[in-house]
Structure 1
Amino acid sequence: MPSRSYLRFPHIHRDLLTFVAEDDVWIAPLDGGRAWRLTVEQVGAAHPRLSPDGAMVAWQGGRIPADVHVAPVDGGGIEQLTHWGGNGARVHGWLDARTVIAGSSHDQPFAHWTWARTVPLDGGPGERLPYGPVSDLDLRDGRTLLLTASAGHDPAHWKRYRGGGMGRLWLDGRRLLAGHEGQLAAPMLVGGRIVFLSDHEGTGNLYSVRYDGGDLRKHTDHQDFYARQAATDGTRIVYARAGSLWLLPGLDAEPQPLEVRLGGAGRGRQPFWASPHPEDAACDTTGRASAVEVGGAVHWVTHEDGPVRLLSGRGRARLPIVLGRFERADDAEPDDLGKRVNGPAAWVTDADGEDAIELGMPGSPTRTVAAGELGQVEEMEAAPDGSVIAVASHDGRLLLVDPETGTVTELTRTDHGVISDLGFDPRSQWLVWCHPVSRGYAIRMARLQRPGTPEDDPDSGAEVTETPAPETPATEIVHVTDGRFTDMSPAFTGDGRNLVFLSLRGFEMIRDSHSFDLVITHGTRPYLLPLAAGAPSPFAPSVEGKSADGGDGGDGPVTVDLAGLDGRIVPLPVPDAHYWALRPVKGGLVWCRGATGEPTVLERFDLDKRKTEELATDVHFFSVSGDGSRIVVRDASELRVISATSKNGDGVTVDLERVRVRIDPGRRWRQAYAEAGRIMRDHFWVSDMAGVDWPEVLETYRPWLDRVGGPEDFADLVREVVGELGASHAYVHAARHHWRSPTGQLGADIGPDTDGLWRVRRIFPAELSDTAARSPLQGSGVRAGDAILAVDGVPVDPVTGPAPLLWAAYGHPVELTVESGARVFRVAVVPLVNDRRLRYHSWVADRRRLVRRLSDGRIGYLHVPDMDRAGWAQLHRDLSHELAKDAVIVDVRANQGGNTSQLVVEKLSRRIVGWKLSRREEPRSYPMDAPRGPVVVLCDEETSSDGDIITAAVQALGLGPVIGTRTWGGVIGIRGVYRLADGTRMRVPGFAHWSENYGWELENRGATPDEEVLITPADWARGADPQLDAAVRHALRAMEGRPVSVPPDPATRPFRGRVRS
């Protein structure tokens, strides 16, 4: 019978079978004997291939980045053959018994340009095969079978994909199956025919054709699960399906499952003790302890000494909070809240299949409330007195949960997103939140009416004026702001007399440094709203010479005047910046401040002194104690407790080694699987799951869970499941990535010479406008032709070269010993983590030079690598210069998407309607940076996501012809990234794109160019770019029929002098 383990990536040679299970490489007898483990690293190895003599196995190591490894079949040491740095590797097979064939993009300008290379067993450099980028290949019997232009995903992970990346099949330079409508994978030469995987009939199966592409035959007929990862020894074929391995003995035979018994299997499912990594924390009332989420469970952790207690028992626990309650003396005044003490902790649990709230405290049993009534909980917050828990659900509902009875009451809902930023006033009378509206976010609040407590009860501690705001009854929801701006993170100050919030309503602008534009760099600022109409502004001058105290304390009841709320809003005296997560603390406020690429800073604002102070840096999350005196902060390395009143206050580092986390992988994967199903169900862009019976899909794949033996197994299973949706951007990333420091790179082509020395063949120049395109050797005194003799004093091996000596050297100075002619010298350089940006800029410069040569300098050239920051910067590096030409080619080939396509389209859509002229300056067009003549756009199958969208937009707007190949076809964008119970990360396709000219068909089809032009393997071999050649021809022809906009001759101006008779 088939194995009960999850088996992938098989290959055979004679009577041996190799495959991957439990994230390791295994060897087994083909006749069903006991398998043995070849690797014990548990690092997600892939694509093992047995050598032609059956003595060795080669595979790509699953550590990030992957490299090529080999080991003897009968045991022995593992050797790493390549040191390609951050560019990864893919093992394709063997050229002969001493040479592996692998793919890598390590010297290419784009990550998907994976050229096949020979990799000798001695670790030598090998050579790049002249086929251009290939997805897979088979070199056998003197023939060359290539699969190119295939999207980077496994066909089973995006089932029934029909975009531009379905793949192209080539035999000896001739294209086959040009009109094939299905994903192609695993091309093989078997029995005088070409065999491949295809899903053109709806499910992945094995097919074959003659060498001329005719006589299509089907060799497997799986109707449910895809046949995947097929490999051959030239006669037989093995493949994976549903976690099992199958054998096709011959093209006229029937497929049969293989029985595989793993010796010493099950390591990946054995429970183990894990290192504690806090994922969330909620500080208690006084700052003595916290409810800490670690490993999917909630623990009660005292901040100093003491034991740690496990609070949660079943399911995954998340979003911990600590409830409080007040103890009042018998003789307390009516407005005296009393002393706040700890109540139970609460957290969200999915133990019963849907989100619920579980409550418990150390030493007491837990109880669960509101099971199945909450949807997926996005956020929750408890009133200070512990009487109610506010819950924001994924479906836009704001719920109130009674922690005693479990009663759930819907307070409000929105159809514009998810309610967030929940907060209560200190007396538990008011709830405030951030409410999504059609074009922004508004602040809303509601007074909570308790059963049996009249609205005008004098003991309630709050007075509400009888005059409500228009259309806003005092006992209902109050619209504090109207959503004109983006308002967020509301909170009450410690005395309950003011409402504070962050608002994106600043419009201080600066001029764009590179183009004629104005930029609002920040725009967010904290604002304060006194709740009482007669209260002076806390920041206005006082007749007593001191500003009003907006901090804690205050005598008498709190007055809330609902009329004229928006007229009392005042900004805090701090500059606009990027702020978030505003919270009240004792005597002031805290918030996070940061910018892209900078560590997050936790700042405190003293409401009395009107000053800010930095409390902590590199903050991942924080939680304020119930009394506002202490803050629990998670930074890059530890959990700390600091004072909320001063940076100089006492602090303590929480000893998390006391937290013991025992992980049961099988149980955890079952939790994560159910969680993944709910997340996709609740957040996929359309509620009917695009016609897919989602519950049936989950049940169909659920039995596979018992076979999963490692993080990569589980991620592969979830990818198969979400692949049934047939949607783009449904990405799943395994929990354990095993990052290792990649080989440092010198930004140069370096290779062996006939004298055995490794010489610098080419140094790529730096692009000084790009901080990622630094050239380590430029300016160091090293020149092309020089030999590198040693790295940090260690001689360079004449076979393997300097790369192994540069392991983990990126970002750190290394010493190179260099021979330049008769001179030997030492120089210190700092290697790069990846030199792809250097190579990219060189590639762009080469394209631009070619366009200039072909057009006699009349045509400009722009390449846009993505629709994000890097692409926007790259566009503007040369925008004004290239648009000053008579025509421009805009190249979006290999564009990896983003969200700036509409900004790029706006630039390309400009039409010159005037000119500005002066005596000593070159004429400037009006508007500036507008095309002067024809625009031609280039695209290919790697033009993806927002790259698909800009291609379609160019066609819809008639901006110019599109040349190349059909684009990727993935325009259902990512709504969010979710971390599952086991640490697996899943991205959800959350919003679809409809296009005027393609309708819904841009997704899963792509944009079709106006003229299809392929780059063949032969073109790649000779360095040709027929797509760019065609774009130049189109632009030249278009200029013949369309006048180019040119500035007027000043001599044609009207005469303004005095007319003399």
Structure 2
Amino acid sequence: MHLPHFALSSVLSLTLCAIPNLGFASSNQTEDSTQARPTWLRDIALSPDGQKIAFTYAGQIWLVPAQGGDAVALTESGVYSETPIWSPDSQSIAFTADRYGLGDVFILSIQGGESRRLTYHGAKDIPYAFSADGQQLYFSSRRLGDDKANANVKQGSFMAQLYSVPAAGGREQRVLPIAISDLAISPSHSDILYTNQPSDEQPWRKGAVSDATRDIWQWSPRTGKHTQITTFRGEDRNPVWSADGSSMYYLSEQAGSFNVWQQRFDGSEPVQITDHQKLPVRFLSASLQGDLAYGFDGEIWRLKAGAKQAEKVPVSIRRSAMPDGRHNVNFNLEATEMVVAPNAAEVAIVARGDVYVVSLLSGLTQRITDTPEAERDVSFSSDGYRLIYASEREGSWNLYQSYVNDGGKSFSSSLDIIEEPVLTTEQDVIQPLYSPNLKRIVYRENRNTLKVYDIEQDKTYTLLDAHALYSYFDKDLSYQWSPDSEYIVTRDRAMSNGDIQLLKFDGSEAPINLSQSGFSEFAPQFSADGQWVYWLTDAKGLRDIDDMVVQYDVYGVALNREAKFNFNKTQEQLWLEEEIAAEKNLGPGQNPPTELTVVENKGLKQRTMRMTPTSLNIIFKHLTHDSQALIIAYQLGDSVQISEINLRSGEMTALFNRLSEDAALLAMASDDASLLIMGEHGIENLNVLTGESKFVRYEAKANFDFRAEIAYLFDHVWRLTQTKFYDPQMHGIDWQQYGDLYRKHLPSIRTYSDFAELLSEMVGELNVSHTGAFFMAGNSSWEEPASLGLYYDDRYRGKGVRVKSLLPGGPADTYQSPIKAGAIIYSVNGKEISDQQDIYPFLNFTQGKLTRLSVLVPGEEKAQNFTLVPITLEEESELLYEQWVEQRRALVETLSDGRLGYVHLAAMDAASFEQMQNDMFGLEKDKLGLVVDVRFNAGGWLHDQVMEILSGTRHSVMQTRDGYVVSSFPERRWAKPSIMLANADSYSDGSIVPYFYQKEGLGKLVGERVPGTGTAVIWEQQQEPGLMYGVPQLGIKDEQGRWFENQEIIPDILVYNDPESVVAGEDRQLAAAVEALLLEISSK
């Protein structure tokens, strides 16, 4: 369950609250004393007449007198509204709201009444400015864009471009097909200032100096000329015009922190206007009289025309305190862990950071913990009377246990459950497991040290220290006790090539390497009798073309010769032992339990066996008590297949199949029969012996406290950054101080979207890539947009929409389709499109469905009906990317007269690498040279493979007796000249590859200076499932010991795609690369 923006009302329209007096609160509002002086006021917008200031707070648009006072809400709660923009007459405000989707533009009058929706596309639309006469509204949107000027395309997304829509409502129109982030119209109405957007780096990062930072440009719509105004290599953004149009004010980091600067258009040096320290100035706006307003440290400041010092604008907000109150919610769909009690009668789960126990008999659910902090890593003690888990309280992760105190054995029905601390330290201790004899606890300290705490002796043993172990994600390491409590089995080393190690609980014996493998081994477990250990390995598994493992096997080793001998017994021997066991009142197939795990180091390799007959994408494994069968679950397309493997015969029998969403978590009971499967509809208790299935419905109810949760989450991610960030010096900033500076705004945070922005601002202080937080809002009532894969003609003003061109491979690009350039679509499913409407709202909910269009084909007099199946916007984006690549390839073909080939790497992943190889050794194999384009690359982990495939040197050939060359060597490496294209949006591994390419002398590098973003990030999902937070935890250094991060890669040929060339559909960078490579080839 998501709590989108923490707003529970279901208003059907955005309405303006009545404003009897701008200086007073309406009578039906009650004062919330904690918000009498709120902070975290964003999107500051001073009205053109200088009398009022609009701003965003708690997901609503508010209005306050310019001199300060009580603010009133212009928009209702219940949807998230942001980015208010004033009309020239100061009487209306346009803004973005997520009522119907990611964000549409609305307009409302400040005098009252309902807001009107202006945009209907499924992308997020952000208003920037009104035209000088107030008739048009300019906004930014990530859409299909122009069919010619598309030199800024990124796979999986669109670059934001400028559009306009009539303020009274009507058809949208493309204005400027380049990526920009804001704009301002001159007092003379002739020119426009805008901020460019050379990369998709998170917008709240500070301190960067690179080609990825923004600059301010001036555009003359009349002449089409674009002029760069600012040249500081750090951030310049958010321009506004001076009252007389002779200069501009803007935000810049030239002196360190973001401040207001003034730049005259006479060529003089810029002048700093404000001098705020430590924190950035944001959201600059101006009145027609020259007053300025902006945000700093969560509050509004105003600098009156002619004044030397800005003043803080006092703002009071009177509103109900209800959103801060606790309320009842159900977290059934938020379970992240599940373990089965030893008696198989109940399970413990973790849902939204709290521990619950569910009865498998009745579904009765007991909440064990009730804290805003996270609990996790829950497990039962061997007697089932205790639960142990980690919880992040009092500034660190500590260990706690809960137990039943009323004489009963069931958590789910107990009325008296006691919690007590087990191990509390200043260090982080996580992932506890009781030993079966209940005398010891194994756990991790500071994530990378494995320890055992002896309860009776009050003594701690270190088994693996931080130099023998590395954990990337907190859930990537597992370990288990032997049944006799003497040994622990785990993996060692870092993320890859880890071996399975058998460790004596007190470290008194040398670790035993059970796997002895050069491959990656993980997830080890003991057999029930402690005589076998089995684990997952990628030794024989299928790997993607980028060498990433996609399939695994289960391997096992008999720890002693007796265990292997018993496994190899014939069927006759087993029958005889069953008869003897029956005489001794033992169960069928059971031998007397072995008291101790016996380990014989010699001969481990010979006693190791592959337990799976084939490699699979295994997500769960369980060895039966007799060690004769293995139950596995593996991913099979969109489903999970559960199968049993007879380890003697190797025969695999399919048992059950479930959809992936119905098998999110799996756990096996100790009876070898009950497989518990957690899915969207509850817990399925599946008997693998009989095939019987029973659904257990449960309710993980909680009294939810939003404010307590965000206070905890703030501290959690602050600590995560402090402990995980790759540079222990925190890039030279005082992280404690910045935590305090941003933490103080928590009382004013009322939505997860605002909370994510607060976290992004805080982590942005580190000046590093791969950071930020984002909240993935969602609502089942949102519209579902679709696409026909068409470019529409903006100049057409009649009924219907006129087609400008078709997106290759789109729904309309079929041999039967009458749709072509010039065709007019009059209706969709019988609903006519007026001359004031766009086609977008008519396509809602049509994706994947047969849709009827009325189409007038050029040259025909009568429209005809035609049916097709629209696609999603994501599919449209992919087709646009493919079109962009083919346009680059065609351009290279033309410019080189067919002598050069072209490949583009969208990301450093398997799909991109596969396409690269397909093109290199297919379409382009006979070309004399190759242009390798990594512009707009989203990163991944592929640098070694790319370097290898581009580093071939031809040394021999294979030929027939008559001299025909059949093949040349190397066959699968490019052995001819190449050149590489990169830009400021070549990100992460997309920046490492150009560095390596240039460093290894494989060819020339062409394009822009590439910002160093070579770090590995941990993206952590928070206990609010829609909230993600990222921070880089691993950095890369060059041979001089310098971090790649923030180290620019300077191309051999520096060339930019300026705005005018982009608008014209040119690609100057690609042309320069072709010219340079042809020159290199001709010189040899």
TM-score range, shorter chain: 0.7 to 0.9
- Please say if residues 1057 and 1068 of structure 2, whose CA atoms lie closer than 8 Å, have aligned partners that are also in contact: yes
CA distance in 2, matches of 1:883, 1:745: 36
Instruction: Determine the structure 1 residue equivalent to 2:196.
Output: 148
Instruction: Determine the structure 1 residue equivalent to 2:59.
Output: 23
Shift of 1:445: 2.2
Mapping of 1:544-563 within 5 angstroms?
Answer: 544=572, 553-558=590-595, 560-563=598-601
Q: Given the superposition, is the C-alpha separation of residues 318 and 1041 from structure 1 closer, same or farther in structure 2, using an over 3 Å criterion?
A: same
Q: Given the superposition, is the C-alpha separation of residues 491 and 147 from structure 1 closer, same or farther in structure 2, using an over 3 Å criterion?
A: same
Counterpart AA for 2:421: T
Provide the TM-score with structure 1 as the length reference.
0.86
CA distance in 2, matches of 1:118, 1:854: 35
Instruction: Determine the structure 2 residue equivalent to 1:137.
Output: 183
Q: Given the superposition, is the C-alpha separation of residues 800 and 222 from structure 1 closer, same or farther in structure 2, using an over 3 Å criterion?
A: same
CA distance in 1, matches of 2:1013, 2:175: 31
Stretch deviating more after TM superposition (863-872 or 38-47): 38-47
Per-residue deviation, residues 111-163 of structure 1 (Å, max 9, x unmatched): 353221112235433322246222322222222212214443465x3220112
Instruction: Determine the structure 2 residue equivalent to 1:783.
Output: 819
Shift of 1:404: 8.0
1:495 to 2:547 alignment: no
Instruction: Determine the structure 2 residue equivalent to 1:165.
Output: 212
CA distance in 2, matches of 1:535, 1:917: 57
Instruction: Determine the structure 2 residue equivalent to 1:255.
Output: 310
Shift of 1:823: 4.5
CA distance in 1, matches of 2:399, 2:610: 37
CA distance in 1, matches of 2:355, 2:510: 35
Counterpart AA for 1:827: T
Counterpart AA for 1:318: E
- Please say if residues 348 and 358 of structure 1, whose CA atoms lie closer than 8 Å, have aligned partners that are also in contact: yes
Q: Given the superposition, is the C-alpha separation of residues 968 and 738 from structure 1 closer, same or farther in structure 2, using an over 3 Å criterion?
A: farther
CA distance in 1, matches of 2:1035, 2:1080: 35
CA distance in 2, matches of 1:1011, 1:984: 41
Stretch deviating more after TM superposition (396-405 or 130-139): 396-405
- Please say if residues 46 and 62 of structure 1, whose CA atoms lie closer than 8 Å, have aligned partners that are also in contact: no
Instruction: Determine the structure 1 residue equivalent to 2:1070.
Output: 1028
1:425 to 2:482 alignment: yes
Counterpart AA for 1:829: V
Counterpart AA for 2:205: W
Stretch deviating more after TM superposition (868-877 or 208-217): 868-877
- Please say if residues 615 and 646 of structure 1, whose CA atoms lie closer than 8 Å, have aligned partners that are also in contact: no
CA distance in 2, matches of 1:194, 1:975: 40
Mapping of 1:31-70 within 5 angstroms?
Answer: 31-62=67-98, 65-70=102-107
Instruction: Determine the structure 2 residue equivalent to 1:121.
Output: 167
Instruction: Determine the structure 2 residue equivalent to 1:368.
Output: 421
Instruction: Determine the structure 2 residue equivalent to 1:663.
Output: 704
Q: Given the superposition, is the C-alpha separation of residues 213 and 630 from structure 1 closer, same or farther in structure 2, using an over 3 Å criterion?
A: farther
Q: Given the superposition, is the C-alpha separation of residues 79 and 600 from structure 1 closer, same or farther in structure 2, using an over 3 Å criterion?
A: farther
Instruction: Determine the structure 2 residue equivalent to 1:693.
Output: 734
- Please say if residues 907 and 937 of structure 2, whose CA atoms lie closer than 8 Å, have aligned partners that are also in contact: yes
CA distance in 1, matches of 2:59, 2:963: 69
Instruction: Determine the structure 1 residue equivalent to 2:354.
Output: 297
Instruction: Determine the structure 2 residue equivalent to 1:568.
Output: 607
CA distance in 1, matches of 2:1059, 2:298: 35
Mapping of 1:360-439 within 5 angstroms?
Answer: 360-361=402-403, 362=414, 363-372=416-425, 375-377=428-430, 379-401=431-453, 408-415=460-467, 416-418=469-471, 420-436=477-493
Instruction: Determine the structure 1 residue equivalent to 2:1055.
Output: 1013
Aligned to 2:930, the other structure's residue is in SS state strand
Mapping of 1:988-999 within 5 angstroms?
Answer: 988-995=1031-1038
Instruction: Determine the structure 2 residue equivalent to 1:83.
Output: 120
1:527 to 2:580 alignment: no
Aligned to 2:175, the other structure's residue is in SS state strand
Counterpart AA for 2:368: L
Mapping of 1:576-587 within 5 angstroms?
Answer: 576-584=615-623
- Please say if residues 144 and 158 of structure 2, whose CA atoms lie closer than 8 Å, have aligned partners that are also in contact: no
Aligned to 2:1051, the other structure's residue is in SS state coil
Q: Given the superposition, is the C-alpha separation of residues 969 and 352 from structure 1 closer, same or farther in structure 2, using an over 3 Å criterion?
A: same
CA RMSD of aligned residues (A): 3.2
Per-residue deviation, residues 324-382 of structure 1 (Å, max 9, x unmatched): 34xxxxxxxxxxxxxxx4212222112222111121134122111211255252x3333
Instruction: Determine the structure 2 residue equivalent to 1:854.
Output: 895
- Please say if residues 47 and 91 of structure 1, whose CA atoms lie closer than 8 Å, have aligned partners that are also in contact: yes
Instruction: Determine the structure 1 residue equivalent to 2:692.
Output: 649
Instruction: Determine the structure 1 residue equivalent to 2:944.
Output: 902
- Please say if residues 641 and 653 of structure 1, whose CA atoms lie closer than 8 Å, have aligned partners that are also in contact: yes
- Please say if residues 159 and 724 of structure 1, whose CA atoms lie closer than 8 Å, have aligned partners that are also in contact: yes
- Please say if residues 241 and 247 of structure 2, whose CA atoms lie closer than 8 Å, have aligned partners that are also in contact: yes
- Please say if residues 339 and 380 of structure 2, whose CA atoms lie closer than 8 Å, have aligned partners that are also in contact: no
Instruction: Determine the structure 2 residue equivalent to 1:1053.
Output: none
Instruction: Determine the structure 1 residue equivalent to 2:376.
Output: 319
Shift of 1:794: 2.2
Shift of 1:950: 1.3
- Please say if residues 387 and 402 of structure 1, whose CA atoms lie closer than 8 Å, have aligned partners that are also in contact: yes
Q: Given the superposition, is the C-alpha separation of residues 723 and 645 from structure 1 closer, same or farther in structure 2, using an over 3 Å criterion?
A: same
Runs of at least 5 residues in structure 2 that lack an aligned partner in the other structure: 1-34, 146-152, 220-224, 404-413, 579-586
Find 2:502's aligned residue among 433, 442, 445. Answer: 445
Per-residue deviation, residues 700-748 of structure 1 (Å, max 9, x unmatched): 3221222212112211221122122221101212264558454101111
Q: Given the superposition, is the C-alpha separation of residues 715 and 519 from structure 1 closer, same or farther in structure 2, using an over 3 Å criterion?
A: closer
Counterpart AA for 1:317: A
Stretch deviating more after TM superposition (1009-1018 or 244-253): 244-253
CA distance in 2, matches of 1:736, 1:214: 46
Q: Given the superposition, is the C-alpha separation of residues 129 and 267 from structure 1 closer, same or farther in structure 2, using an over 3 Å criterion?
A: farther
Per-residue deviation, residues 765-798 of structure 1 (Å, max 9, x unmatched): 22xxxxxxx5455245232133323222322233
Shift of 1:892: 1.6
CA distance in 2, matches of 1:1000, 1:747: 47
Counterpart AA for 2:498: Y
- Please say if residues 104 and 121 of structure 2, whose CA atoms lie closer than 8 Å, have aligned partners that are also in contact: yes
Instruction: Determine the structure 2 residue equivalent to 1:806.
Output: 843
- Please say if residues 858 and 886 of structure 1, whose CA atoms lie closer than 8 Å, have aligned partners that are also in contact: yes
1:866 to 2:907 alignment: yes
- Please say if residues 551 and 586 of structure 1, whose CA atoms lie closer than 8 Å, have aligned partners that are also in contact: no
- Please say if residues 425 and 492 of structure 1, whose CA atoms lie closer than 8 Å, have aligned partners that are also in contact: yes
CA distance in 2, matches of 1:406, 1:214: 73
Mapping of 1:492-891 within 5 angstroms?
Answer: 492-506=526-540, 524-536=552-564, 540=568, 542=570, 544=572, 553-558=590-595, 560-564=598-602, 565-584=604-623, 588-594=629-635, 598-605=638-645, 611-615=652-656, 617=658, 618=660, 619-635=663-679, 637-643=680-686, 645-646=688-689, 648-656=691-699, 659-734=700-775, 736-738=777-779, 740-751=782-793, 753-766=796-809, 775-784=811-820, 785-820=822-857, 821=860, 822-834=862-874, 835-880=876-921, 881-891=923-933
Instruction: Determine the structure 2 residue equivalent to 1:195.
Output: 249
Shift of 1:651: 2.0
- Please say if residues 48 and 57 of structure 1, whose CA atoms lie closer than 8 Å, have aligned partners that are also in contact: yes
Give aligned-pair identity as a percent. Answer: 21
Q: How many residues in Structure 1 have an aligned counterpart in Structure 2?
A: 983
Provide the TM-score with structure 2 as the length reference.
0.85
Aligned to 1:167, the other structure's residue is in SS state coil
CA distance in 1, matches of 2:364, 2:59: 36
Shift of 1:931: 4.6
Shift of 1:629: 4.1
Per-residue deviation, residues 458-509 of structure 1 (Å, max 9, x unmatched): xxxxxxxxxxxxxx97x55333233532121111222333222222221779
Find 1:949's aligned residue among 992, 1002, 1021. Answer: 992
Counterpart AA for 2:737: E
CA distance in 2, matches of 1:286, 1:815: 59
CA distance in 2, matches of 1:551, 1:312: 41
Find 1:182's aligned residue among 230, 234, 237. Answer: 234
- Please say if residues 363 and 698 of structure 2, whose CA atoms lie closer than 8 Å, have aligned partners that are also in contact: no
Runs of at least 5 residues in structure 1 that lack an aligned partner in the other structure: 326-340, 450-471, 767-773, 1043-1061
Aligned to 1:48, the other structure's residue is in SS state strand
Shift of 1:447: 4.1
1:107 to 2:160 alignment: no
Q: Given the superposition, is the C-alpha separation of residues 76 and 868 from structure 1 closer, same or farther in structure 2, using an over 3 Å criterion?
A: farther
Shift of 1:304: 4.0
- Please say if residues 612 and 645 of structure 2, whose CA atoms lie closer than 8 Å, have aligned partners that are also in contact: no
Q: Given the superposition, is the C-alpha separation of residues 692 and 755 from structure 1 closer, same or farther in structure 2, using an over 3 Å criterion?
A: closer
